C-alpha cells in the first residue's frame, strides 16, 4: 500500500429508499492498489454502497471523490465516471442475447469508441488470460455460473477501470464453482487492482483484503486489518456477526 | 390414432353438412366453382393493393411505434413533456375507431385542397392505418421493454453506456425477441384492416369482390377473398413460430453459428 493521494474517498454518505435509511453516514478511503472488503449481514448496506459509488443510485447526502474528482457533484457526466469504474454483480447480469465476445466488447466499442478489431483484440487477450477463450462464441446461458461470473469480470476489466467494485460475486454460485471466481479476484489483487469487495466469503476476505470493514445498519462499525477484525474484533456486534458465521461453518 | 379419430370426425361432419336441407342453395351461393374461377384473378390482382398497403405501412408502424415506446421510457423530469406526448398519442389513437380515422384522414384532408398535400385515398388510407397501428404496437414494444429486468439496464449503464445506448444494444433487442408473437398478431390485424381502405374507394381485394357480388348476387367472391387473406396469414404464423424457436435454440443450446 502506498501513501499517495487516495483512489477513492467516501465522506458522510447517506442513502434512503423511501423511509428506509440504508446508509447512515459512511466514511471510507481507499488508497491506490488497496483491496478493501465489506462484510456484514444482508441488508447492512454493502450493495447499496457499491451501487452509490458507481452512481447507479443517486446519493442523498455526502460526497464521493474518485482520484480527486467529486463524482457526486452536480453536472458530472455519469457515463464518463462509470467508464472508469468496473462493477461485477451478484447475478452476473450478462447480456443473454449476446455471445461472450459481444458481451465483453460492447462497452469498449460503444462507450470507449474503440474499433471492433481493437475491442476484439482486447477481449481476446483477457478471455485467454482467464481461460475463457474457447467460450468466446457461446451465449451466456450455455456457461456454468462460475464461467458466467468470470465473463462478467472480464467484461468489467475490458473497460480498463481504475477501480473495481465486486458485489457478492460468489453468492449466486454453487459451492464448487466459488473457487474459480475467487482465484480470478486473487490474481487481480496481486496485480494491484484497486478493489472494493462486498463479500460473505470470510476466509477469502481474510486472504485478499488489506483492510476489512464491518457494516452494520448503514454505518461502518469497525474497520481494520483482516487479522484484527477476524482475530480480535472490538465491537460486540462484530463479534456476534462473526460468531454466527463460524456457527454456519463459513469461516 | 389421432389420424383415425380425425378422419372419422371429418367424415361425419361432411356427410351431415352435405345431406342437410338447403345445402344445394348454400353451395350455389357461396361455393360456386364457376363464380370462383371467374372472380378469382381480379380479386387476386386487387389483393396486390392490400399487400402493398400493409407491407409499406408495417415498416412505418414498426419504426414509429418503437419511437413512441422509447419516448415513454425516457427517465427524469426533463423528459416529462415527451412522455406525456407519447401517452396522449397512444390514448387517442387506440380509442378512436379505425374506420373513423380512415374517414377523417382519407376524406377530410384531401377536401382541404392544400397545396403540395397528396389527395390519393390510397395514401391517406395507409397513413390512417400507420397512425392507428403505431399506437397499438408501441404498447407491445413497451410491454417488452418493461419485461427486461432492470439489472440489464444497470449492467449496460455501469459500462458507461448512455440511456439510449443501453436501450439500443441491450434492452430493445431482448424486448423485441420477446414480443415477436404479439407483433405478428398486430401485423395480421393490419393485413385484415387494409380492407377498410376500400371505404375510401380504393379498389383492393374486398372492393373487387363487392363489385363481383353486386353483379351476380353470388357470394362466392367474398369467400374467395377470405381464402386469400387466410392463406397469407397461416404461413406467416408458422414462420414466426420458427423464428422464435430458432432464437431460443441459439441462446439456450447452440453456439453463435
pLDDT (tens digit per residue) in A86-99: 999 999 999 999 99
Residues of A in contact with B152 (CB under 8 A): 93, 95
User: Does A104 score more than 50 pLDDT?
Assistant: yes
Residue with cell string 420477446: B178
Q: Which of these ranges, A120-134, A191-205, B31-45, has the smallest mean pLDDT?
A: B31-45
Nearest Cα of chain B lies from the Cα of A55 at a distance, in angstroms, of 8
Q: Which of A54, A96, A102 is the best mutation test for B, with the most CBs of B within 10 A?
A: A96
| Interface predicted TM-score (ipTM) | 0.91
Q: CB distance B160–A159 less than 8 Å?
A: yes
pLDDT digits (tens, 9 = 90+) for A210-250: 999 999 999 999 999 999 999 999 999 999 999 988 888 76
- Nearest to residue A157, comparing CAs of A199, A108, A95? A108
Give the Å distances, CA to CA, from B2 to A212, B5, B16, B96, B238.
68, 5, 21, 46, 21
Residues A92, A205, A140: CA angle, nearest 5 degrees: 15
Is the Cα dihedral B251, A111, B80, B128 positive or negative?
A: negative
Counted across chains A and B, CB pairs separated by less than 8 A come out at 79
pLDDT digits (tens, 9 = 90+) for B80-115: 999 999 999 999 999 999 999 999 999 988 888 888
Q: CB distance A137–B253 less than 8 Å?
A: no
Residues of A in contact with B157 (CB under 8 A): 56, 79, 82
Q: How confident is the model at residue A175 (pLDDT cuts 50, 70, 90)?
A: confident
pLDDT score for B248: 81
pLDDT digits (tens, 9 = 90+) for B14-73: 999 888 888 888 888 888 888 888 888 989 999 999 999 999 999 999 999 999 999 998
β-bridge partners, A66: A8, A69
**Quick check: A198 and A28 in contact, CB under 8 A?**
no
Residues of chain A with pLDDT > 90: what percent?
Answer: 87
Q: What is the DSSP string of chain B?
A: -HHHHHHHHHHHHHHHHHHSTTHHHHHHHH--HHHHHHHHHHHHHHHHHHHHHHHHHHHHHHHHHHHHHHHHH--SGGGHHHHHHHHHHHHHHHHS-HHHHHHIIIIIHHHT--TT----HHHHHHHHHHHHHHHHHHHHHHHHHHHS-HHHHHHHHHTT--HHHHIIIIIHHHHHHHTHHHHHHHHHHHHHHGGGGGGGT---HHHHHHHHHHHH---HHHHHHHHHHHHHHHHHHHHHHHHHHHHHHHHHT----
Q: What is the mean pLDDT of residues A155-161?
A: 97
DSSP state of A74: T
Q: What is the mean pLDDT of residues A120-143?
A: 95
pLDDT score for B79: 93
pLDDT score for B255: 47
Q: CB distance A80–B160 less than 8 Å?
A: yes
The three cell numbers locating residue A92: 452476473
β-bridge partners, A10: A28, A64
The three cell numbers locating residue A146: 462460475
The gap from C-alpha A5 to its chain's centroid, in whole angstroms, comes to 21
Amino acid at each position: 500500500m502506498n501513501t499517495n493521494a487516495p483512489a477513492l474517498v467516501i465522506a458522510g454518505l447517506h442513502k434512503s429508499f423511501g423511509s428506509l435509511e440504508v446508509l447512515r453516514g459512511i466514511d471510507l478511503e481507499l488508497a491506490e492498489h488497496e483491496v478493501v472488503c465489506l462484510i456484514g449481514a444482508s441488508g447492512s448496506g454493502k450493495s447499496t454502497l457499491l451501487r452509490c459509488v458507481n452512481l447507479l443510485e443517486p446519493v442523498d447526502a455526502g460526497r464521493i471523490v474518485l482520484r480527486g474528482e467529486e463524482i457526486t457533484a452536480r453536472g458530472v457526466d455519469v457515463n464518463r465516471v462509470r467508464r472508469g469504474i468496473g462493477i461485477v454483480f451478484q447475478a452476473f447480469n450478462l447480456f443473454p442475447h449476446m455471445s461472450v465476445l459481444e458481451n465483453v466488447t460492447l462497452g469498449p466499442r460503444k462507450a470507449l469508441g474503440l474499433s471492433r478489431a481493437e475491442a476484439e483484440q482486447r477481449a481476446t487477450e483477457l478471455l485467454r488470460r482467464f481461460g475463457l477463450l474457447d467460450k468466446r462464441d457461446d451465449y451466456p446461458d450455455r456457461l456454468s455460473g462460475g464461467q458466467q461470473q468470470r465473463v462478467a469480470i472480464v467484461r468489467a476489466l475490458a473497460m480498463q477501470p481504475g477501480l473495481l467494485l465486486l458485489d457478492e460475486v460468489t453468492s449466486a454460485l454453487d459451492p464448487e464453482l466459488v473457487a474459480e471466481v475467487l482465484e480470478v479476484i486473487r490474481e487481480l489483487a496481486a496485480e494491484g487492482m484497486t478493489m472494493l469487495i462486498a463479500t460473505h466469503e470470510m476466509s477469502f476476505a481474510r486472504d485478499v483484503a488489506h483492510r476489512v470493514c464491518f457494516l452494520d445498519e448503514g454505518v461502518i462499525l469497525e474497520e481494520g486489518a483482516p487479522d484484527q477484525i477476524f482475530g480480535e474484533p472490538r465491537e460486540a456486534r462484530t463479534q456476534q456477526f462473526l460468531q454466527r458465521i463460524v456457527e454456519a461453518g463459513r469461516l | 390414432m389421432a389420424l383415425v379419430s380425425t378422419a372419422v370426425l371429418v367424415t361425419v361432419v361432411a356427410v351431415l353438412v352435405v345431406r342437410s336441407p338447403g345445402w344445394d342453395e348454400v353451395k350455389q351461393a357461396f361455393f360456386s366453382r364457376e363464380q370462383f374461377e371467374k372472380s378469382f384473378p381480379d380479386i387476386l390482382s386487387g389483393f396486390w393493393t392490400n399487400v402493398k398497403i400493409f407491407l409499406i405501412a408495417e415498416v412505418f408502424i414498426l419504426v414509429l411505434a418503437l419511437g413512441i415506446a422509447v419516448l415513454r421510457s425516457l427517465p427524469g423530469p426533463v423528459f416529462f413533456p415527451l412522455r406525456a406526448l407519447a401517452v396522449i398519442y397512444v390514448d387517442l389513437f387506440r380509442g378512436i375507431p379505425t374506420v373513423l380515422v380512415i374517414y377523417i384522414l382519407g376524406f377530410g384532408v384531401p377536401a382541404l385542397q392544400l397545396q403540395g398535400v397528396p389527395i390519393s385515398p390510397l395514401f391517406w388510407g395507409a397513413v390512417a392505418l400507420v397512425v392507428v397501428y403505431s399506437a397499438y404496437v408501441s404498447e407491445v414494444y413497451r410491454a417488452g421493454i418493461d419485461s427486461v429486468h432492470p439489472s440489464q439496464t444497470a449492467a449496460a449503464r455501469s459500462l458507461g453506456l448512455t440511456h439510449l445506448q443501453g436501450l439500443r444494444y441491450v434492452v430493445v433487442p431482448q424486448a423485441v425477441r420477446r414480443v415477436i408473437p404479439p407483433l405478428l398478431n398486430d401485423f395480421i390485424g393490419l393485413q385484415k384492416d387494409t380492407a377498410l381502405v376500400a371505404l375510401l374507394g380504393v379498389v383492393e381485394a374486398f372492393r373487387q369482390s363487392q363489385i363481383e357480388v353486386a353483379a351476380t348476387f353470388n357470394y362466392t367472391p367474398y369467400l374467395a377473398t377470405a381464402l386469400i387473406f387466410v392463406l397469407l396469414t397461416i404461413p406467416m404464423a408458422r414462420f414466426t413460430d420458427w423464428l422464435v424457436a430458432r432464437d431460443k435454440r441459439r441462446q439456450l443450446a447452440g453456439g453463435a453459428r
